Structure 1
């Protein structure tokens, strides 16, 4: 009998370790499954509003349903929102300079306030006359530094229109084609004449002092654009007075449209941010089975992150969401490339006086952690911080594949991602029996590191 008594703790310990290893293997397998699907070619880079984003949203919603979460979107698990309502240049646009056609989107770009229509004429360099196209050399203008360059272009177009110009071409601007393409996101009332921007190569031709005249023919047309994104929201209702939000964005760069690259190639977005979504789903799996019932839990897969945190801004502005009941928000963005040398970055520890003690209690002192006190950053936790909610932000740092075509599933450190999942589960467990966290505002980011 004594023999059994002495061996029993060893047997129990061995069974526990075996169960833990089995559970870890299950989580690792799930992480790989989630990341591989979300970053697959089928989803085409998950650009907000594109078909690939909708496939990703459907996958995440199905996973939430299988986990037993309650739908918390406006349409079951889905929460659609408007990203942009404006117009974009149609493929039928044309611009010929001395009978040579120019390339839309690179050599010339219609400005967001341009009129649709046509303008043509024989244009003399440095001579702007009524009833003809004007050439406006931006480099020679007295620019109002209080205005944005887009506002300056609009102002000059209005001056040209009032002076009888039939169209206006801007050249020698310092901005890149990528910047001008981003201006198209602005929904501005159109002026009465066509207005286009010309790149440096075309500007050089227009600025040629030896040129006698230019034969110019412009035809502009626009398509109306209404672009929407979709958050995916699941809920674990423990009938508790306070709620924890755990989120990550799932949208990415598609074929590079958001970077306005000249060559359109698939951006898989395995680390950015299929890794965060995969971790969120596994944390939801843990909390569904755990007995941590002093908080409710909302799990949100945000879209519209790449356009300026549209999804999280929309979520936090919903009238049916009582922000006063939210205990804190945890955000995971690009957590799939953990490198022990660089460490794990944890932002937002200054957003509540309770965070330092909680983190000290659950983190291994041998782990390389980089702390950032600020609640503001380039990800969705910022939208919650702006609503006076404590936040934590998990990030494994930029790398050579960030926002590039090489951010694929085979580059993910799944063991490292598992360790982050466990850490966040420990943090949530630690706060289960504590009072609602007190919010603190933060100043500029202050980064410290410890090993």
Structure 2
């Protein structure tokens, strides 16, 4: 009777995992890039699921908590440039440099002749480069020299940078120069350096528009009126169309394993906990965004928590848990962050799952933000396949039975700690992945 009921529950959990992962990694969500419309669709989906499970909202505004990922600039509509009769496209054919003055400049420019009171053309290939300085610093230095020599503007051509890299420079705030300065791409560079070029009528206007990129954490709560709280989290953002990878190719990154798998498991664990008898801890269920940009969401929550962090018992993080392979094993990081973890996990683990332990509380995922607050952490991870950071990280490649086993293990760990006192915190070595020990039901080596 119990076995049949358990199988029925497992089938329901697997069905829910498939439902969540399929939606979150669908084309509709466009890769869930932080701050993009697809991220907002994902946040709305997660909020709805939390509400249906019966979680209470624990964000700053309902279930959501917003945070700034970065403040930057982009070429404004008024940012224009023409060469002879050709109107160039701002942001791709030409990009104003971050130190550029917000001014206009025009003139009849002759190649290889840089005169006072005119726009200068500077060939990046012929610059005396300084290996101790970045190209942005060297462009700034050249512009300062040109301004002192009477140039009214500067155009850098034949640079090796991709447009995406130059656009990222707009996130920086170097000292401003007194003249406008722009970078042009390869196609425009070929025109400016053509052997038969006699002269160019150039008209340029630099203008910037400030932009603010925000991310959204989604936070639910199970209030058991308990003195201790457990945080369980997973990031739901992914790479979008690869905009943050400095690539000009527009490729959709679906992110089924990274990290729709962890998000789906998070929701199913929340559903199980809401229906459980485990009432000696409260539970914060949090889906982070901004992980791909540097753990922005978890860092923000850890510094602007909607619960008292001094009462937090421990934090569990689920990231890349959809490709369980017994040969590789289930990686569990953070074992050394509490002296109680080893015994707890041994009690909860099954012989069917090959476990690989690492003691460090620091790693490339959101548990690090809580370890930095002296909170014991665990980090669950099934490894990165060759395609799990590529565009074909799709829902059909997920090991759903394996993901279910991770869900059940996390639940069992929570179960084992239900009657225990608040776990003690211990600091661990850094960095991650040095001295880890592979185990199958054996005590790990701290």
SS in 2 for 1:226: strand
Contact 1:87 1:187 in 2 (8 A): no
TM-score (norm 1): 0.85
Shift of 1:79: 0.8
Question: Which deviates the most, 132-141 or 261-270?
Answer: 132-141
Contact 1:388 1:441 in 2 (8 A): no
Aligned with 1:40 (options 26, 29, 33): 26
Aligned with 1:164 (options 146, 150, 168): 150
> Residue in 1 aligned with 2:381?
395
Shift of 1:21: 0.3
Aligned with 1:381 (options 367, 391, 402): 367
Question: Which deviates the most, 115-124 or 288-297?
Answer: 115-124
> Residue in 2 aligned with 1:448?
437
Distance (Å, rounded) in 1 between the aligned partners of 2:393 and 2:227: 41
Question: Which deviates the most, 25-34 or 370-379?
Answer: 370-379
Distance (Å, rounded) in 1 between the aligned partners of 2:300 and 2:119: 43
> Residue in 2 aligned with 1:143?
130
Contact 2:59 2:306 in 1 (8 A): no
TM-score (norm 2): 0.86
Contact 1:170 1:198 in 2 (8 A): yes
2:293 corresponds to 1:331: no
Q: 1:191 to 1:126 in 2, by over 3 A?
A: same
Shift of 1:211: 6.9
> Residue in 1 aligned with 2:95?
109
Q: 1:220 to 1:399 in 2, by over 3 A?
A: farther
Structure 2 residue runs without a partner (length 5+): 441-446
Distance (Å, rounded) in 2 between the aligned partners of 1:273 and 1:380: 12
Contact 2:162 2:246 in 1 (8 A): no
Contact 1:353 1:440 in 2 (8 A): no
Question: Which deviates the most, 17-26 or 326-335?
Answer: 326-335
Question: Which deviates the most, 211-220 or 415-424?
Answer: 211-220
2:261 corresponds to 1:288: no
2:65 corresponds to 1:79: yes
Q: 1:298 to 1:319 in 2, by over 3 A?
A: closer
Residues matched between the structures, number: 436
CA RMSD of aligned residues (A): 2.9
**Counterpart mapping for 1:61-140 below 5 A:** 61-90=47-76, 93-95=79-81, 104-123=90-109, 128-136=114-122, 140=127
Distance (Å, rounded) in 1 between the aligned partners of 2:33 and 2:259: 12
Structure 1 residue runs without a partner (length 5+): 1-14
> Residue in 1 aligned with 2:444?
none
Aligned with 2:425 (options 413, 426, 438): 438
**Counterpart mapping for 1:293-304 below 5 A:** 293-304=279-290
Shift of 1:167: 2.0
SS in 1 for 2:321: coil
